[in-house]
Amino acid sequence: EVQLVQSGAEVKKPGESLNISCKGSGYSFTNYWIAWVRQMPGKGLEWMGSVYPGDSDTKYSPSFQGQVTISADKSISTAYLQWVSLKASDSAMYYCARHEDIFDPWGQGTLVTVSS
């Protein structure tokens, strides 16, 4: 079974750094893109960017370029989403998803709360 399992919920203060993860299993991790998608409370889905674990190629949405870093470690089949300095407005649910053209499957989501 193809599965993406994300790291657990995080509570952070503004200005702190954060790294959340997404571990793939049941398929060849290096052969598919992994996307990160943000969903703010009560809002829709926003694509942040994607990484191709085979060669670490990354693509970012213009809205998120420079705000986050997306990476992958193919040796442990894990993709990452990283912030250097969190803001309260980063509070959201974050999903990873395997993709070529379509996003399938999705991870269970990681809730990030940023509050002083």
Partner 1 sequence: SYVLTQPPSVSVAPGQTARLTCGGNNIGANSVHWYQQKPGQAPVLVVSDNSDRPSGIPERFSGSNSGHTATLTISRVEAGDEADYYCQVWDTESDHPDVVFGGGTKLTVL
Q: Which residues bind partner 1 (CB under 8 A)?
A: 35, 44-47, 50, 59, 61-62, 95, 97, 101-109
Quick one: 75 or 102, whose CB is closer to partner 1? 102
Q: Which is nearer to partner 1, 13 or 43 (CB)?
A: 43
- The least CB distance from residue 59 to partner 1, in Å, is 7
Q: Please count the other Cβ atoms lying within 10 Å of the Cβ belonging to residue 60.
A: 18
The residue (of 55 and 104) whose beta carbon lies closer to partner 1 is: 104
**List of residues 6+ apart from 67 with CB closer than 8 A:** 83
Distance of CA 29 to the CA centre of its chain: 15
Q: How far is the CB of 99 from partner 1 (least distance, A)?
A: 8
Residue 84 — left, alpha, or beta (φ > 0 → left; ψ -120 to 50 → alpha)? alpha
